[in-house]
Amino acid sequence: MSPVTRHPARPPARPPARPAPKSKIDYKALLQKSFQSSYEKRDDSGKFGSIWKPGLEIPQWKCSEGTHIIDIIPYIGGDSEPRGLSGELVHYLDVWVHFGVGPGEDTVVCPTKTFRDRTDIPADMKRCPICEEENELKKVDGFDDEIVKSLRSKRRSIYNIIVRDNGKEEAKGLQVWDVAFFFMEKNLIDICKNPNTGDFDYFVSPDDGKQIKFTQKGAKKNVSFLGHVLLPRDYTIDQETMESAICLDESMEVLTYEEIADMFFAGYERKAEEATPVRTAARTSRQPISSSEEDVPFGSDSDTSAGEEAAPECPEGGVLGADMDRFRACENCTIFNICLEEKDRLDAEAEPAPAPAQTRKPATLTGTRKPGLRR
């Protein structure tokens, strides 16, 4: 390659100057749209950077390293309450999400796992193309663990909270906190149950509830939450604060199968070449599945047909099904769905006549319940 020749003797040419406009141009008016657009998108991290419906202002709390004290504010579950608790007083939103979906790395609610307990929602409305892809990939011999993990939805717990760390945080009033189920709800529901009596300490009760103290250690991939403890509080949660709680399930955006598929496959490059036919199958099999297939537990078809030679063992040394979500690694476990299926089976054995429908009639439940999913 020859070196670049220069012409040092010649003075650098000045860029051609545009002739000055004769009449004054209103540059402010010309720039107005660009500035306005930029301002409106200033907090936008992607079309569905969060699971919230567009246009909603959700005051989200970002937990930082250190010790925190919060109160959880309960709210009345809406039509999209995943656990079927519409009209009931609930203390958190139990939701499964897929992260990093499509070229925009969006976050989307997984309809399959989020609404798996909602027997009133038709199975075809609960289908998820990403979960289907995950299951199909696992049928391929020598499937890539990393790809399968990246497709798996994650369980999140979302709370309405008041942060009591200091006056500044407290003055913000109600905030919304989205945290991995494993880090918070899993611990809280354990420590609030009296092992002797089986009674719960209803720590979110507005009149005689408790503060929650915990410590975040580390951040991002090395984060952990320790020392969860319930502390007595010498105040009550007033009516105004209770009414300020956001109906979280009604605020989340649940996309249709087609919408998720369009987003997902738009940026999905298959790295496992053997699975090429799967994409076609996933793209074209969007018609509702037959009713005979509706009650097949999530993941069971793929896991049994994948030719497992022996029952898989829990990589953490736990008991399959019984110890689901007990370990930190559960969140990204390669046999999570098998474990989930086993848990379903164990639950079904424990409760021979499962009645997921509400047994209590809440005072606030009026009219007919309609599924919160869009077709």
CB 78 within 8 A of CB 86: yes
Amino acid at 1: M
**Rounded to the nearest 5°, which phi and psi values hold at 250?**
-75, -15
Sole window of 20-28, 153-161, 236-244, 320-328 interacting with Zn ion (rule: CB under 5 A): 153-161
Please list the residues that pair with 106 across neighbouring strands.
101
Minimum CB distance to Zn ion smaller for 110 or for 320 = 110
Sole window of 39-47, 56-64, 149-157, 204-212 interacting with Zn ion (rule: CB under 5 A): 149-157
Query: CB pairs under 8 A, 24+ apart, for 287-294?
Result: 287/124, 288/122, 288/123, 288/124, 289/123, 289/124, 289/127, 291/123, 293/123, 294/122, 294/123
**Distance, CA of 145 to CA of 129 (rounded, Å):** 18
First CA to last CA across the chain, in angstroms?
A: 61
Minimum CB distance to Zn ion smaller for 78 or for 111 = 111
Which of 50, 86, 107, 153 is close enough to bind Zn ion by CB under 5 A?
A: 153
Phi-psi region of 100 (alpha: psi -120 to 50; beta: other; left: phi over 0): left
* 128 lines the binding site for Zn ion (CB under 5 A): yes
Minimum CB distance to Zn ion smaller for 218 or for 288 = 288
- Residues in contact with Zn ion, total (CB under 5 A)? 6
Q: List the structure tokens of 69.
A: 């004290």
Sole window of 30-38, 129-137, 261-269, 348-356 interacting with Zn ion (rule: CB under 5 A): 129-137
Minimum CB distance to Zn ion smaller for 50 or for 112 = 112
Minimum CB distance to Zn ion smaller for 133 or for 185 = 133
* 179 lines the binding site for Zn ion (CB under 5 A): no
* 135 lines the binding site for Zn ion (CB under 5 A): no
Q: List the structure tokens of 252.
A: 């989340």
Which of 63, 72, 101, 130 is close enough to bind Zn ion by CB under 5 A?
A: 130
For the bound state, the minimum distance from the C-beta of residue 298 to Zn ion, rounded and expressed in Å, comes to 9
Strands 210-217 and 89-90: unpaired
Minimum CB distance to Zn ion smaller for 110 or for 338 = 110
Cα-trace Rg, the chain? 26
Residue with the two structure tokens 């086993």? 342
Which of 51, 70, 89, 131 is close enough to bind Zn ion by CB under 5 A?
A: 131
Q: List the structure tokens of 39.
A: 């301002």
Residues 86-125 that bind Zn ion (CB under 5 A): 110, 112
For the bound state, the minimum distance from the C-beta of residue 338 to Zn ion, rounded and expressed in Å, comes to 16
- For helices 129-137 and 257-266, angle between their N-to-C axes, nearest 10 degrees: 60
For the bound state, the minimum distance from the C-beta of residue 100 to Zn ion, rounded and expressed in Å, comes to 13
Minimum CB distance to Zn ion smaller for 68 or for 155 = 155
Minimum CB distance to Zn ion smaller for 175 or for 337 = 337
Amino acid at 166: N
Contacts to Zn ion by CB under 5 A: 110, 112, 128, 130-131, 153
